[in-house]
Structure 1
Amino acid sequence: MTPSKILLYFCLSFIGGIFFASFFKISLQILFFLSILSLILISIFPKNRILLVLAFCIFSFVLGIFRYQIFFSKIQNQEIKKFIGKEISIFGVIDEEPKIREKSIIFPLKTEKGKILVKAGRYPGFEYGEKVRITGILKEPERKDSFNWKNYLLKDGILVEMDFPKIEKTGENFGSPIKKFSIFLKKKIEEAIKENLPSLHSALLKSLLFGEEEEIPFEWKEKLNQTGVRHIAAVSGMNITIISSLILSFLLFLGLWRHHAFYLSIFLISFYILMIGAPASAIRAAIMGILYLTAQYFGRMASGERSIVFSATLMLFFNPLLLRYDIGFQLSFLAILGIIYFYQFFFEKFKKLPKLIKESLASTLSAQIFTFPILIYNFGQISLISPLSNVLILPILPIITILGFIFSFFGIIFEPIGYFLSFPCWLLLSYLLKVVDFCSKIPYSFLTLKVNFIFLLISYSILIPLALYLNKKFSQPLFLR
């Protein structure tokens, strides 16, 4: 048993502890018993390697439970919670770029007593890093239809909301200068996109680049759902993993040396995250994507699996709530594992197809097969046309992304050049919209299902052994030689 494999077991045990603590209340007596058991195994069998590893795995499992309970308790005991239902006046700093809605803006406010999600009018407008004083009534987040809004905010340490308070600006420049600069660039890019593309194309491109789908009409959001491509409008690990793989394939297709294509891909991903304002969720997704690319580049996908698990362990150590309450984190983790285990199987099945199409199909289907149960469980929807629509759309996403940044940058410098360069991007976006529209009209391509947690357990009880079987059957090659 190699040291790296032992570390993998420790990490998985730690994640397992967080998982159990997320769903079950575990008493101190049980934790004490497990801790004593691990110490007994270490004391009695110090030379038995297997039992020693088992003992440390039990200890890692207990640490995972402890970490979750301590973190969860710290958030639940925020002083701000005492003021729910009361009118208060409090100072704080705007912690993220405000999200613009049709008639309002939303931003998290970091205060000494805890975080508050503030909903305010669009005018006069507020910026990241500004210090403000808000006066209003605090309330507890409410469930929105089938979506658990309260749990969604919990992962970010937010327990309370305040709608349309009285707001006074008291200072600025309290945030990170790097983040502030990236938000400034992002806004300039958004302006260039809006000036050079029709409204629907502009809304779609902004959702592709920045994960902001507020401007996409409801009708088109439904079409994206029905065709199983709604994920393209979100900056998720699943999306970044697939796109980063396709960017690497595309650069190699253009004739770049593998060494140059690899480093250029990592640069483009990092630059992309900076351009969208570097939100925490996107940074986590980028870390997953870069680790995947690194493993892919060196042709060591087994090491890639361990790197992904290790990085997930670090992320969960700093925020254990991600495992249960952040679907983006779940999709990131599962999509990459899906590609690691299933890519070569699909690659072999489509070996007669052109290389770029073959790689696109393999990446897309591999990611989707492992994320499929989670998507159904959370959204209760299944698109039967999803494989076809994804295969027709995903190969052009890296090209749209690159072209979108190129024409918007030139549009910032000199608008006529930006307008001229926006034409190829408009053409590809038009193609994407046509595919979505066509696929959404195919009869019986979309089903609504209600499943429970048992469905998840059964699904992954089948998928995990299948993944391990395929892992043994197929060698782990250098994907894109």
Structure 2
Amino acid sequence: MRHSPVVLYAAIGGFVCGIGTYTLWPVSLPTILYVALLALIAALVYRRSREQSLLLVTVFLFGAVIGLLRTDAEAEHLRTPALEAQSGRAVTIEGTVAREPDERESMTQLYVKTESALVLVRTEPYEQYHYGDRVSATGQLEQPEAFETEFGRVFDYAGYLKARGVTQVLSFADVKILSTTDNVLSIARLYDVKNLLSDSIERYIPAPEAALGLGLLLGEKRALGDELEEMFRRTGIIHIVVLSGYNVMLVVTFIMFLFSFFLPLRGRVVFGLVAIAAFAIIVGLSATVLRASLMAGLLLLAQATGRVYLVTRALFLAGVLMLLWQPYLLVYDIGFQLSFLATLGLILLAPAIEKRLSAVPRWFGARGFLTATIAAQIAVSPLLLYQIGQFSVLAVLVNVLVLPMVPLSMLLTFSTGLVGLVFPSAAAVLGLAAQLSLWYIITAAQYFGSLSFAAFVVPAFPFVLVPLGYLLVALAWYKLERTSLDPLAYWTIEEVEAQSETKTSVPQSETLAATPIFFR
């Protein structure tokens, strides 16, 4: 039985509104129960009247209740009265390093899981720490505070950490390793493989090309250096270094290609899901990576079960799953927001844009890259300008010049690191080829980024202009398409009628370039 899309999106809308409301204006449990009572009353009235508007109100309210309850549960989970009482004092905590250490030039950041909380520990960058280490840390306990960025925006650092499960920071900490993990099944072994590959890449590819290669392949951008990273920002290609959905798509496509030589479809799906999960863990489970990985997993499940993969449904389902896991992503994680908007832009805007780019040749995927870049830029610009405040004038041009080289650079970088573990002489040759491809990307970023007009700062403006901007985008899209919201007309995965004489109607934007789009 097909579910009405309006009902489905009313439920999702209520869920999102519930999370957003509680995040910005925390409500009490009696208020949540009152909303639940309203939903129950609406449901009872609907049973008698069968009025469709009441059905929408009912599912919206029930969705809101779920969102409110989930956010309330997360807020309760993050409450640490004992630690909060010690804020501003020197304390000693003991726990386990729960995430891969974030090593920087000036410090190392450790996410330490104690019995009651997850604490961000900042210490000097001289000692080597690993996931799973049992540590003792002594330092100044602080609550994170907002600060102003170089572009005049206020960055809510406390909210940013809250979306990562952290409410307390231990600064200037003296950290001692109490014990290490030797469990062969620990996630630490995945990080060992990552470090082994990273060391091999740095051995055969010189800097700064090696740093870019590690960014493309594993999302490590810290070795780029501030100056080069700024060039990538000014040219609008920083997303390839912080591991965007495009990079994830390339990695998963390569993995499935390898499995196709010796595994049947079901086997490819099983091992593909395991590989996707392992890769997501290795590169850090950022919002972008998690969203792309979930959508990739849904595609594999659709293939295994003989169902049609509809990318819009997969996007919204992935978003709901992520918010169920961590509701504070909605308001406090710009990566989640931009990733969702960029993907939605590719789904809805790309078909209309491509129709008007028929004069652009398809050589080397030029039209596809241009279409995707324009669609993504339009979709993220209102929020990006509000949150970040910098606009890249040359983003479309540089993306079209650089993106075709990214798959080759990633493949050569990975091959160099892998072969370097076994055949050093062959790795030296591959490393030279990888260096040349990476040099091309760096040169493009440096040349265009150095131009005075490459980017400019947009003065701060009120948030009300953001939804207004998206309203204008929606009106322009509707005028170009002259259609109803067909892309939202179906559920995520539908069963294929193998012998049916009538074919399922699937909107073009759901299937257009589905493989690259759903990862972006």
Instruction: State TM-score, norm by structure 1.
Output: 0.87
Q: 1:78 to 1:320 in 2, by over 3 A?
A: farther
Residue number in structure 2 paired with 1:341: 348
Q: Which runs of 5+ in 2 are unaligned?
A: 150-154, 487-506, 515-520
Residue number in structure 2 paired with 1:52: 55
Query: How many Å apart are 1:296 and its aligned residue?
Result: 11
Higher relative helix content: 1
Residue number in structure 2 paired with 1:173: 181
Of the three residues 124, 127, 134, the one matched with 1:124 is: 127
How far apart are the structure 1 equivalents of 2:511 and 2:116?
Answer: 51
Q: 1:53 to 1:294 in 2, by over 3 A?
A: farther
Aligned AA (1:287): S
Residue number in structure 1 paired with 2:16: 15
Residue number in structure 2 paired with 1:3: 3
Q: Which runs of 5+ in 1 are unaligned?
A: none
Aligned AA (1:171): S
Aligned AA (1:231): H
Query: How many Å apart are 1:276 and its aligned residue?
Result: 6.8
Of the three residues 270, 280, 288, the one matched with 2:285 is: 280
Alignment of 1:72 onto 2:75: yes
Query: How many Å apart are 1:273 and its aligned residue?
Result: 5.6
Residue number in structure 2 paired with 1:421: 430
Structure 1 segment 356-371 matched on structure 2, within 5 A: 356-371=365-380
Query: How many Å apart are 1:277 and its aligned residue?
Result: 1.4
Query: How many Å apart are 1:86 and its aligned residue?
Result: 2.1
Q: 1:179 to 1:444 in 2, by over 3 A?
A: same
How far apart are the structure 2 equivalents of 1:218 and 1:467?
Answer: 38
Residue number in structure 2 paired with 1:232: 240
Aligned AA (2:35): L
Aligned AA (2:3): P
Query: How many Å apart are 1:292 and its aligned residue?
Result: 8.0
Structure 1 segment 108-123 matched on structure 2, within 5 A: 108-123=111-126
Aligned AA (2:224): I
Of the three residues 289, 302, 314, the one matched with 1:307 is: 314
Aligned AA (1:34): V
Aligned AA (1:40): I
Answer whether contact 1:291 1:304 (CA < 8 A) is retained. Answer: no
Query: How many Å apart are 1:211 and its aligned residue?
Result: 2.0
Deviations 1:191-249 (A, max 9, x none): 112111221111111222222222112221221111111111112447646x579x69x
Aligned AA (1:475): Q
Of the three residues 461, 472, 476, the one matched with 2:509 is: 476
Aligned AA (1:7): L
Structure 1 segment 69-468 matched on structure 2, within 5 A: 69-77=72-80, 79-146=82-149, 147-173=155-181, 177-237=185-245, 240=248, 267=272, 270=275, 274=279, 277-281=282-286, 283-290=289-296, 303-352=310-359, 353-354=361-362, 356-449=365-458, 450-467=460-477
How far apart are the structure 2 equivalents of 1:275 and 1:38?
Answer: 38
Query: How many Å apart are 1:102 and its aligned residue?
Result: 1.0
> Number of residue pairs matched?
468
Aligned AA (2:132): G
Q: Percent identity?
A: 25
Aligned AA (1:430): W
Point out the more displaced range, 467-476 or 30-39. Answer: 467-476
Query: How many Å apart are 1:294 and its aligned residue?
Result: 6.2
Answer whether contact 1:206 1:213 (CA < 8 A) is retained. Answer: yes
Secondary structure of the 1:45 match is helix
How far apart are the structure 2 equivalents of 1:322 and 1:102?
Answer: 28
Answer whether contact 1:238 1:336 (CA < 8 A) is retained. Answer: no
How far apart are the structure 1 equivalents of 2:136 and 2:451?
Answer: 53
Residue number in structure 1 paired with 2:492: none
Aligned AA (1:221): E
Aligned AA (1:389): V
Deviations 1:239-297 (A, max 9, x none): 646x579x69xx8xxxx9xx99xx79x94994596287152226513324516866998
Q: 1:76 to 1:148 in 2, by over 3 A?
A: same
Q: 1:174 to 1:365 in 2, by over 3 A?
A: farther
Aligned AA (2:83): I
Aligned AA (1:422): G
Answer whether contact 1:185 1:275 (CA < 8 A) is retained. Answer: no
Instruction: State TM-score, norm by structure 2.
Output: 0.81
How far apart are the structure 1 equivalents of 2:424 and 2:4?
Answer: 53
Query: How many Å apart are 1:78 and its aligned residue?
Result: 5.1
Query: How many Å apart are 1:29 and its aligned residue?
Result: 6.5
Point out the more displaced range, 269-278 or 438-447. Answer: 269-278
Deviations 1:392-430 (A, max 9, x none): 111221221122111110012222211111122111111
Point out the more displaced range, 394-403 or 137-146. Answer: 137-146
Secondary structure of the 2:222 match is coil
Aligned AA (1:459): G
Deviations 1:49-107 (A, max 9, x none): 51224212212113212322331233134532222122222210001111111132111
Answer whether contact 1:237 1:288 (CA < 8 A) is retained. Answer: no
How far apart are the structure 1 equivalents of 2:65 and 2:390?
Answer: 36
Q: 1:239 to 1:81 in 2, by over 3 A?
A: farther
Aligned residues: CA RMSD: 3.3
Q: 1:2 to 1:78 in 2, by over 3 A?
A: farther
Secondary structure of the 2:313 match is helix
Query: How many Å apart are 1:113 and its aligned residue?
Result: 2.4
Answer whether contact 1:381 1:446 (CA < 8 A) is retained. Answer: yes
Secondary structure of the 1:3 match is coil
How far apart are the structure 1 equivalents of 2:56 and 2:422?
Answer: 60
Answer whether contact 1:288 1:332 (CA < 8 A) is retained. Answer: no
How far apart are the structure 2 equivalents of 1:329 and 1:462?
Answer: 22
